[in-house]
Structures are given as C-alpha cells and as structure tokens.
Structure 1
Amino acid sequence: MRDRAPMTTALTDLPVAAGPVFVPGDEGYAAEVASWNAATIHEPLVVVGATCAEDVAAAVRWAGTQGLPVAVQATGHGAVRPVTGGLLITTGRMNEVSVDPAARTARAAAGVRWAQVIEATAPHGLAPLNGSSSHVGVVGYTLGGGAGPLGRRYGFAADHVRSIEIVTADGALRTIDAGHEADLFWAVRGGKGNFGIVTSIEFGLVEVAGFFGGGIYFPGTHAAEVLHAYREWSAGLPEEMSTSVALLRLPDLPVLPEPLRGAFVAHLRVAYLGGAEEGDRLLAPMRAAAPALIDDVQMLPYAAIDAVHRDPVDPVPSRERGVLLGEVTAETVERVLAAAGPQVDVPIVMIELRHLGGGLARPPAVPNAVSGRGAGYSLFVIGVGVPELAPVVDAVTDRILSVDTVPGGLINFSGHAGPEALLANWAPADRDRLLRIKRAYDPTNVFSSGQALVG
C-alpha cells in the first residue's frame, strides 16, 4: 500500500487495529469494498478490514475524532445504496462460529455466513433460521428480521436471538440482551444497522435434521396456471410447509440444466417439515397445475437447504423492492403477468410471491422491532441493476407492485427505499420508539448508510 494521508495514518497507528487499512488508490481497495450486489459501488475515504471486535471499536472511535460517518459490510448481499466518503468497516475476516448442542445455541461473529453455521450445527441434528441462500451473512440478515425457509414454522431469525455484542456510535463495545439495555436490544433485532455495528450474535437453534423440499420448474408458458393454482393452494397449507413461487428470467449459462438455460420459468420452492408421503400429498395440486421441466422435491438433509431456492452464488447487479399483501387475488396474478409475464420483454430477473403467516405472524417470546408481522404474503421484485436500465426497472416494478397491499414491510425486502419509506414499514408507535432509541445511541447519525432510518 502507498503512503497514506494523515487521516489514515492516525487510524493505523492505533495499537488494537490489527486489520488492514485501505484508501482509494491502494492495491486491494477495490476488492475490499466490493459488494455481492455488483450494482452497488462503494467509494469510502477509508476502509478498515476488521479482524475482531476491538478493531471495530477502535475504528469507530477514530471516525468520531475525524467527524466521519461509519458504514459496515460483511458479504454485501444487502448493499442497496453505495457508501460515498466516510469510513467503511469490512467484517469478512471475523468468521468464528461456536455451537452449544446442549443449549441449542450458536454464536457467530460479524462476518460469518449461514453456510458456516449450518456446517457446524448439522452434525448435531440442529439448524439455524437461515435465509434462502446460505452464502448470505448471518448478522445483516438477522438484524433485518430474516424470513427464511423455516419461517412459517419457527418465525423470524431475529425472534431467536439471545444476545448481541455491538459497537455503538461512541465506540463502546456493549453486550446486550433482554436484561441489559433492553431498548437497544429491541431496536437492533429488526432495525437493521442503524444503531451500531454488531460484532457477534448468539441465537437459538431448532431441532431439524432434514426436510422434504426442493423446487419444481414449470415452463413460462404455464405461468398463469401456476400462479393461479399457487394462490388457491398456498392459503390452506399447514405452517410446517414454507413455500414461494417465482417467475424467473434465467441467463443462458452452462451452469444451468439444459431446460433452464435462457428460459422464462415459474419456480415453485418448497420446504416441508414432515415426511415424503404427506409432503407428496400436500404438493399434489401444484404438480397437477402444469407439466414440469424439472421436479427435484425430495427428502433432503438440512445441509442441502439451498436446494429450495437455488439463489445465484456469484455476484450480480440487482435493483430490488417489495411490498406485503394480505392475500394473493386473481387480480394480483393478472397484474403481475401483464407487467412482466412471458409475453413481454422487460429487464426483470425475478418476481417472487412468498407465503408468510404461521410463525411469522406470531409475536416472539422477547419482543423485537421486526416489522411485517401479520401479512399473508410478500411480493418481491428484482431487476437488472445497471444504471441505464434503472428507469425501466423502476417503472415496471411500480406496475407490478401497484396491487392491494397491507401496511408495513420487510426491511430486508425494502431495497432502495429512502428513510421515509423505510419508516413506513413500522406502525407509528414502533416507528417513534425506533427513532427515540436512534437519537439516544447515535445522536449525530454516525450510522447513516444503507437502509438508514434517518437521512
């Protein structure tokens, strides 16, 4: 790395700052700031590659002396807004995982991905409440609530958090739980990264060794039949079955099976906590809805949970947004098909209807700030995230999402929404409480990047 300006020299001189430090122009700077969402290009003044909680605390304190805002990134899956200026702390080097099988808990450091947790817990017949992709980071996903493939049975990932280690805007490293700084503990579980940088998180596990699941791909020409069947079928499912259906415009890549390359398809995703016989019985109406290109729903070990959604692993540029629905009506389906069905050519990669309810509607044992409880479904749109297509992607997304919605939203599915739209995810009382806690712990809005509640 080249000689640094005095600002960065002050940081690297801190004795507890063990991680690498980069400024623009340094070799390794671009790789350090890169996000999984390739549409988001960060350009911070300084980057600290944290290796431990003390690195994070030292970096935040130093930023305070310089009057700089602070942002954080682990994997960059949730990077919907670029960091411009200020300090970026990357946590990918903080990848320690520990499991207590007797207590059915796990602890993950800030940079851990769900795959690491699953690898550590599966031998004990235990599973975390991870998301649709095990490549996503544990902390960012959980702080946004986390509605994954076991959600209808067990609720949000945030509902299972036991304690959190967090660095707040004053540079203090705090351990918080239901009995220690309970207001902050409430806000962080659902309020995303607005209150500090989480350096580790402890959460409960569930006894799940395997499941009946996977996906069924239908030809896009049968999208109408599949979506209409899904809206009627999903409403009556037991909460042991979590499902979603997506319209996908797939790339023409060799990594995909031949029937899917460059195709427009309807993809049914299934995760059922029961046996194959009952699972097949429950799934029969959807199998009868249309001929399948691929049907790989079967009994699987929990370590194969990625087979449900088969999300892309490599970075992609995306632009995304979602809303919540009380129900999926015939009009909802027709609006989606009219805006982005097989008969139109639009830069929309995915439109997903995800069944909520069940455990995702129940209040947790320890209250938290997770928004969106009580909705029946989420409707989520991902478009191609390149600047020249942004106006088209936004216009088509607006048409798709202009359906009958219910109040609130899932912050992890809020995409590029600004502070005002993000705050609309919560009921007024919770919104006011979040802002009070924000002012108490971050009065100068140090943490103002990403999905910020205060502009």
Structure 2
Amino acid sequence: MLTTAPFTELAAQMTGRVVTASDSDWDAVRQAFNVTADLRPAAIALPRDVDDVVAAIAYARAHGLRVAPQATGHNAKPLGTLHDALLVDVRALQEVAVDPAARRVRVGGGVKWERVTPLLAEHGLAALHGSSPDVGVAGYSLGGGMGWLARKHGLQASSVTAIELVTADGRFARVDADHEPELFWALRGGNGNFGVVTAIEFAVYPVAQLYAGTLFFGLEQAGAVLCAWTALLPDLPDEMMTWIKLMRFPDIPDVPAEVRGQAFTIVFGAFLGDEEDGRALLATLHELGPAVDTFAMAPPGVLGDMAMDPNDPLPYLSATALLDELPDSGVEALVAAAGADSGSTLTMVELRHMGGALARRVPGAGARATLPGELGMFSLGVPLDEASAVTVQAELDVVSRAVAPHKVGDYPNFVEADTDARGFFDEDTWSRLRLVKALYDPSDVFRGNHPIPPADVRSL
C-alpha cells in the first residue's frame, strides 16, 4: 500500500538529489518535453550513479511506490500523473565513449543524440538516430528507433549490443546476447517496463558522406508532390530513405525569417550513395520545380537537424499511424484534411517511407524487430490555450480519419496517449514480454510509458 514518506531518508542515501513538490524547482524538474504532460509523481529522484539508482528503487519498494524510469522527458504523456510513483530521472548519467575501431558506442542513460552524432562524424561513422538531436538515446532505442538510415540498417533496437540496468530487486545487471538473453530481448522494444537503464551500448556504421537534403514546394502543391513521391517509393533502394511533410511554420521570432509564417510541402531524403545516383532516384520530384533544393553530398552529421524538429519543450497534441499504402484516393483525402485549402492549423503532417530492413527480422533481434506497413504517419499541432487545443484535436482526428482505411498498426515511440500496449505486438511477442516481466518484475514495480503487465504464472 502506498504510504506517505518525506523522502529525507532517500536523499541521505543518494549523492544526487530528491526533488519534491515543496522544492522551488519542482515545476522545472518535472516538466516533460511535451508541456501538456502534467507529471506529478510522489517525488523525483535524480541519481548521479548506479548506486543512487539502487537506493531509489529500494526506497520506492519499501514505501509502496512504483518506479517510473525517465531520461529526457520525451513520450512522457502516457505515464499519467504518477501520483503513486517515484520518478527516477537519469538525466545526470552522461558518459559517452566511442570506440571507432570496434564501431561501438557506450552512453549513459541520460545522453541525448546531440552529444553522440558529432563525435561519430569525426570518425566517418553514423548511428541510427532519429529526427531530433534532443531525443535521448536510451528511450529511443528501447522503443525501437526509426531514423534516417532505417531502410538500410533497420531499427536502432537491433543495433543495441548491451544494456546495463537496475532491476526491480535492486540488482545491477549487464545484459546482452549471452548474459540474460531473455531480458536483453525484452528490453529492445519493451520500453521502461523492466528496469532503470543506466547505460546502453550499440553498433554504428561507416558513413563518411551521403547525399542528403530537402526539396521545398508550396503547400498548394501537396497533392502533386505526394502523388509523385508515392509513385517513386516501390523502386527506391534500401539505401534511400525519404520523408515528406506538410508543414506550417509559426510566425514567431525563433523560426528563420525565410520560412516564418509560411507553409510548405517538403521532401526530405538521405541516400547512402553518390550525388549522381541520388539525384537520378529523385528526378521526378526535381522536375516539379522545387522553390528550394538543399540536396548535396555531406557528412552524416547534417542529419541531426535536417528534419527541423524543435529542440525546446513545447505544448503539442499528436496523432500517428502505420499505413500499408497511400493510393491517389488516400492522397486526395490527406490533402483535403491538411492541405492548403483545408483550413487546418496543424503544424505538421509527416509521412516516412518504411519497408526495406524495417520489414526484415534479423537473427538475435529484440521484441521490437520490425514495423508493419510501408509508411509511418505522424501529425502534430501546437495548442496555445484550451480553446485552440479543442481545434487542434479535431484537426488531428480529421487527418486520422483520412488515413484510417490504410492503417495497419502503430509505432510505440510516436504514440503519446494511454494505449493498450498489446496492440503494438503480435500475440506471441506480447505473451513472451509478459512472461519476462513476471520473471524480472512480478510485483509490477516499473511503470513504463506503455505498460506491460506481468503474466499470471500461477495459471500456467
């Protein structure tokens, strides 16, 4: 049973801090990246090392609290208020070590991609990071991790080689393919349901240069650009990853003057090849006459900011879906929902080309090894008050209905709502995840952002 505790005992056991509602920086510390998430845990532990994590978990268990692991505050909204939980935030675990010869990287649980990708670029290496340098490596990896090189190299979870964590019984463990392989399997896709991750190691790939950039078209060209883009997809090699966004830039000083307050259809691409071949693959898009073309040969470090994702916390509402296709009728429905004449205020509707290695299961992969579908959709709007939040949600619902006939699933890292996580997995994977949960956390101490309940082993 939950008990009231002043947390002074835990604070005395840690070298890091324990923050409660009585502290002056409580609101700043509990703020998630999406500021519409109102996390109000019993307290927040900010460990500085593994021993602090062990102490925090032991204290939570002794006082009837659950434990919610967190690092960078992304995808926090599904956690709920956390009134019965100790939030263990590992943002201070900032080790970064690159082994260029072995093509391996080890990072602490709180490290963001912005600290990793520049170091790799110096050695002609690239990681399977996503669209924002502000995202944490650990959380991104535990949920799958779909980035710019995913059609060639798959999900980031499949490149993870070892994970260090503290389990529910307070034990520090290093797991990999040979040491506690079932837990290693479950962690790679099971999010924060199995322990507090303190470090993660992963493979990286030789990429000295690639052909990458953007094509800017007017938003009124969305239908023509979408049709041309979807027609290209079946013939693109795995070395080419392309995205498309219907994007409205807000009229605020933080936005570059050349796009501020304007709306565009933007094609993004990253090609593991040379400029001649890359340009030929995108020829039909170039023929549509983009207003801006930034494609060029560049080091992989350019991928970190290419998507133009915000790096600072902001309020937003979102919707997502994995799609099997988007035929011309689907393009027409999407443009009607979010195009230039739709009246929509949504900041972004994004489609990512999937397939390739994202659809192929590799030996030794984890619980999240593949993603269904050919396209990943993510739409986002920024509400400024309660009234605009109602409008944004209605507009997101219109986009979701437009693509609903083609929906085949969801990508958990994009789902920012309280959702039954079994829908993210096939029946066998879900059952296996629950068995691993029962083995390592039978009392359901850990509250991941998409919870996996332990199996009832008494009925087996």
Range into which the TM-score falls when normalised by the shorter chain: over 0.9
CA deviation after TM superposition for structure 1 residue 387, in Å: 4.8
**Aligned with 1:121: secondary structure?**
helix
Match of 2:126 in 1: 127
Alignment partner of 1:59 is 2:60 = no
Contact (CA 8 Å) 1:448, 1:454: kept in 2 or not?
no
Structure 2 CA distance for partners of 1:440 and 1:392, relative to 1, 3 Å: farther
Match of 1:297 in 2: 295
Match of 2:334 in 1: 336
Structure 2 CA distance for partners of 1:451 and 1:299, relative to 1, 3 Å: same
C-alpha distance in structure 1 between counterparts of 2:77 and 2:452, whole Å: 14
Structure 2 CA distance for partners of 1:28 and 1:307, relative to 1, 3 Å: closer
Match of 2:44 in 1: 47
C-alpha distance in structure 2 between counterparts of 1:391 and 1:182, whole Å: 46
Partner amino acid, structure 1, of 2:296: Q
C-alpha distance in structure 1 between counterparts of 2:43 and 2:97, whole Å: 31
Structure 2 CA distance for partners of 1:389 and 1:444, relative to 1, 3 Å: farther
C-alpha distance in structure 2 between counterparts of 1:44 and 1:34, whole Å: 11
**Aligned with 1:339: secondary structure?**
helix
**Aligned with 2:185: secondary structure?**
helix
Range with greater deviation from structure 2 (424-433 or 445-454):
445-454
Structure 2: gaps (5+ residues): 455-460
CA deviation after TM superposition for structure 1 residue 454, in Å: 4.0
Alignment partner of 1:180 is 2:190 = no
Contact (CA 8 Å) 1:223, 1:266: kept in 2 or not?
yes
When the two structures are aligned, how many residues end up with a matched partner? 446
C-alpha distance in structure 1 between counterparts of 2:274 and 2:299, whole Å: 12
Contact (CA 8 Å) 2:75, 2:414: kept in 1 or not?
no
1:13-32 residue CA offsets vs partner (Å, 9 max, x unmatched) = 21xx1111111020222221
Percent identity reads 37
Range with greater deviation from structure 2 (440-449 or 279-288):
440-449
Contact (CA 8 Å) 2:5, 2:63: kept in 1 or not?
no
CA deviation after TM superposition for structure 1 residue 449, in Å: 4.6
CA deviation after TM superposition for structure 1 residue 364, in Å: 2.4
Q: Once superposed, which parts of structure 1, at least 4 consecutive aligned residues long, lie more than 4 Å away? A: 385-391
Contact (CA 8 Å) 1:104, 1:206: kept in 2 or not?
yes
1:321-357 residue CA offsets vs partner (Å, 9 max, x unmatched) = 3111122211221121122221123342211110011
Relative to the length of structure 2, the TM-score reads: 0.92
**Aligned with 1:98: secondary structure?**
strand
Match of 1:96 in 2: 95
Partner amino acid, structure 1, of 2:311: V
Match of 1:324 in 2: 322
Match of 2:74 in 1: 77
1:226-252 residue CA offsets vs partner (Å, 9 max, x unmatched) = 111111112211111111101112111
**Aligned with 1:169: secondary structure?**
coil
Contact (CA 8 Å) 2:218, 2:265: kept in 1 or not?
yes
Partner amino acid, structure 1, of 2:21: P
Match of 1:405 in 2: 406
Range with greater deviation from structure 2 (140-149 or 305-314):
305-314
**Aligned with 1:184: secondary structure?**
helix
CA deviation after TM superposition for structure 1 residue 119, in Å: 2.4
**Aligned with 2:347: secondary structure?**
strand
In the TM superposition, what are the counterparts of 1:7-406 in structure 2 within 5 Å?
A: 7-14=6-13, 17-81=14-78, 82-85=80-83, 86-289=85-288, 291-370=289-368, 372-385=370-383, 387-402=386-401, 403-406=404-407
C-alpha distance in structure 2 between counterparts of 1:23 and 1:205, whole Å: 39
C-alpha distance in structure 2 between counterparts of 1:430 and 1:80, whole Å: 25
CA deviation after TM superposition for structure 1 residue 260, in Å: 1.6
**Aligned with 1:267: secondary structure?**
strand
Relative to the length of structure 1, the TM-score reads: 0.93
